[in-house]
Amino acid sequence: MVDYTTLRVERPCPGIALAYLDRPTRLNAITFDMFDEFVELQREIEADKDVRALILTGSGRGFCAGLDLDQAATLPDMSAAQMLRGQQSWARSVSGFTRMATPVIAAINGPAAGAGLSLALAADIRIASATAKFNAAFVRIGLSGGDLGTSWALPRLVGFGRAAEILLTGRFVDASEALRIGLVTDICEPEHLIDRALEIAEQIRSNSPVGTALTKEVIHTNVDAASLEAALELENRNQVLATRTADMREALAAFRDKRSPQFVGE
């Protein structure tokens, strides 16, 4: 287990990891160290074959307030080369959640602003507390609204026009609007948020690990497929790979025997 300083990682039930951004007195604002620990978390989860789903949430009353303002204040003093290296590293750390083979669920328990919005967008599934709210705060502090993958992910979820309006104004989107426009898939009361995330994670965990990883790959790749033919090629390749696994044989046998499958991830 990694000894984190800005995150807290739990294993609440078999096959599921729950990671808290753990700076509650700062609304879990991201520090440069936290960016590094995102990468360590991704490595830890990917190396553990027993983990089938990862839940990201925040400690206290917020999900993530974005980049810590004390650290944001240091950005103008960096040289262009330093800033570019940092920006590339921070972007990799957040987009790494999208690139993981393990499915990621964001349980958004409060404000998700700036880089916090980017982090939520990097997850595969987003559910929100009724108290959650979102904003692309970048333009409000003199930055571009395109940061850490936001300009790529947001239009794919809510459409070009709505994404442009959210990014250019920096306004807040509350939980009910987020559900209506497709930014999140579910809203629940704050006290039920983690239980709902665990319920979704358990549904994922009950499926074949290989099939789940291939499904995540095909979703993220084929959303930008150049043609139906290109999409079908990847689907066909993945189905051939899946039929070579012990897990598919086990799934079929369990279905016939009316029992729960015992997957080994091979």
CA–CA distance, 258 with 31 (Å, rounded to integer): 49
Q: Which CATH number is 196's domain given? A: 3.90.226.10
Which amino acid would we find at residue 174? D
Residues 167, 229: one domain?
A: no
pLDDT above 80 for 1: no
Closest by CA to 38, choosing from 108, 83, 100, is 100
Residue 189 confidence (pLDDT): 95
List the beta strands (DSSP E) in 114-225. 125-129, 133-135, 173-174, 186-188
- Assess if residue 30 is contained within a domain: yes
Which amino acid would we find at residue 139? V
- Assess if residue 47 is contained within a domain: yes
pLDDT above 80 for 265: no
pLDDT, mean over the chain: 94
| Top-confidence residue, 261 or 28 | 28
Residues 195, 218: one domain?
A: no
Res. 138 pLDDT band, cuts 50 70 90? confident
For 97-119, how does the pLDDT look when each residue is reduced to its tens digit (9 = 90+)?
Answer: 999 999 999 999 999 999 999 99
CA–CA distance, 4 with 162 (Å, rounded to integer): 37
pLDDT above 90 for 32: yes
Closest by CA to 37, choosing from 17, 8, 12, is 8
Residues 57, 91: one domain?
A: yes
Residues 231, 177: one domain?
A: no
- Assess if residue 2 is contained within a domain: no
Tokens encoding 171: 């306004």
φ, ψ for residue 112, nearest 5 deg: -130, 100
Which amino acid would we find at residue 105? I
Residues 170, 214: one domain?
A: no
CB 120 within 8 A of CB 66: no
Residues 60, 92: one domain?
A: yes
Q: To which H or E segment does residue 57 belong?
A: strand 53-58
Residues 174, 236: one domain?
A: no
- Assess if residue 160 is contained within a domain: yes
pLDDT above 80 for 266: no
- Assess if residue 266 is contained within a domain: no
- Assess if residue 265 is contained within a domain: no
- Assess if residue 263 is contained within a domain: no
The CA-atom distances, in angstroms, between 264 and each of 208, 240, 245, 260 are 8, 18, 10, 13
pLDDT above 90 for 251: no
- Largest alpha-carbon pair distance within the chain? 65
Residues 181, 214: one domain?
A: no
Residues 91, 200: one domain?
A: yes
Residues 41, 158: one domain?
A: yes
pTM for the full model? 0.94
Tokens encoding 142: 């003199």
Q: HSE-up of 165 (CA within 13 Å, CB side)?
A: 7
Number of domains observed in the structure of the chain: 2
CA–CA distance, 86 with 80 (Å, rounded to integer): 10
Residues 74, 42: one domain?
A: yes
Q: Positive or negative CA dihedral for 140, 142, 146, 149?
A: negative
- Assess if residue 262 is contained within a domain: no
Residues 129, 33: one domain?
A: yes
pLDDT above 80 for 248: yes
Res. 142 pLDDT band, cuts 50 70 90? confident
Domain membership of residue 116 as a residue range: 7-205
CA–CA distance, 105 with 234 (Å, rounded to integer): 24
Residue 250 confidence (pLDDT): 86
Residue 264 confidence (pLDDT): 79
